[in-house]
Each structure stands twice: as structure tokens, then as C-alpha cells.
Amino acid sequence: MLPYERRLLHAIREVRESPFCDVKYEQVGAGGTGLDPTGIFEMMAEEGFPLTERLKEAYFPYRYMALHWISADPEVSLVGDFSVMNIDTGSERKLLNLDDFAWYESDKALLSELSILDDISRGGSGQLATMRFLPGVSSPEIWYLDRFHTFVKLDLDYRDYLDNLIITKGVIGWQYLFADVSLNDSEFSNTLDNIKIMLRVFPEHFPDYDYAPLQERLEARL
């Protein structure tokens, strides 16, 4: 089993077995343990996208892994959602409806270059994390899009994204901890609430993870 295959499956199992979480949807796409991704990496390099060793190490052999959960505690309003693609699958899934995310016609040039990394549609009302593959560049940019026609570049690479997805369990809006935004702005009020709740309750329910770096990122955005 590949390292990130193991880590993602473990994170899904942690949520499933946690009394704090009520899983509403869980799905693993086609693929499976034992796949040698060398040929995939060679093909991507031939197409102009030579991946770094760091990103190759983050490969998992399923097309996607998906989870949607809500807090089992009616006193706590928290939702997690992800359908994260392996880097090969994600590189091929372009945005279909650019008008859903573009305010201006000029936005579409950038949006047309994005492909889907994480489809956050079950519990997140249509958010997407995306990748921007530039020819000859070995690590795609990561952009976050939401239903309010906001798209913002994240201070993450693909592997960082998976690392933090595993820690946050897909809590809606965690990506904004890695964006150059002020979470005190009114448009982020729900996101800020989600992140504060996560950082308050997760150290108790998922004690194997270090939430101090995320707390520091939150404080830097207030």
C-alpha cells in the first residue's frame, strides 16, 4: 500500500469510527492497491507536466476518495466534505461551467486552465479545490473556488493539500487558512466559525494530530 493511500484511508476510518462524526457518504473510486504509477508519471512528463519526487510520493492509486460527514452532536454545527482526486485523474478534469465561478469574461482565461483536485459539493454547496498545470512546471498551483465567484490561490502544493485534508478531515472552508484573505471579513463569517469549532474540538477527538500550526494560521488571518 502506498503511503498516501494508507494515510487517506486511515483518516477516513478515523472519521467513521469517531463518536463525534456521523458519516453521510463514503466512496473510493476505481483503482486499488498494487498499482505501479511509474508509467503514469512518465506519461504526464511527456505531456509537459514532470512531477517532482515530492508529488510522486503523494500519489494514491484510486481515482478519488470521498467522504461527507456532519457532527453527531446537535449542539455543534460542523460539516466535513471532500472528494479528492489523485493527481493524474485531477489533471484531466477541467471545469465545465466557467460561468458558475467567473464574475467577468476576463476571469475565464484563468479558470479554463484549472482542473479539479477536490470536489466539495455534497456538504459544501459547490466549492472546488483546483490545480493549475503550467507547461514544464513540476508542481501545479492550487486554487480554491467557491459559489460566491471567489477564486484564490492557496499557499499549498498538492502534497500539502493532502496533508492538511487529512488533519482537517475536510471541514468546510479549511482551505482559507492558506489563502491571503482576512477571515474577519463578513463574507467569511461561516468559514471562521467552522475553523474555530474545528480547532476547539478536534484536538480532543483526533489527538494524534498537531493543530498548533493551523491555529497560528488562523491568528495570522484575523
Q: What is the pLDDT of residues 172-191, one digit of tens each?
A: 999 999 999 999 999 899 99
Q: What is the largest CA-CA distance in the chain?
A: 52
Among all chains, which residue has been given the C-alpha cell 477536490? 118
109/126 Cα distance (integer angstroms): 21
Q: What is the pTM of this model?
A: 0.95
Interval 82-111 mean pLDDT: 85
Q: Contacts for 50-53 with beta carbons within 8 Å, 24 or more apart?
A: 50/136, 50/138, 51/87, 51/138, 51/139, 52/138, 52/139
Residue 56 CB partners (closer than 8 Å, separation 6+): 37, 41
pLDDT in tens, 45-68: 998 889 999 999 999 999 999 999
CA distances from 15 to 10, 79, 107, 212 (A): 9, 12, 37, 20
Report how far apart, in Å, the C-alpha atoms of 106 and of each of 68, 111, 116, 131 are: 34, 9, 20, 19
Q: What is the mean pLDDT of the chain?
A: 92
Q: What is the pLDDT of residue 149?
A: 59
- Dist CA 197 CA 20 (whole Å): 13
Closest C-alpha to 23, from 82, 71, 62, 73: 71
C-alpha cell of residue 151: 477564486
Q: In what order do the strands lie in the sheet with 21-28?
A: 21-28, 64-71, 79-85, 114-120, 127-132, 141-146, 150-153
The pLDDT assigned to 32 comes to 79
Q: Which of 9-18, 39-48, 145-154, 192-201 has the lowest mean pLDDT?
A: 145-154
Q: What percent of the chain has pLDDT over 90?
A: 75
Q: Are strands 64-71 and 79-85 parallel, antiparallel or unpaired?
A: antiparallel
Instruction: Give 100 or 163, the one with higher predicted confidence.
Output: 163
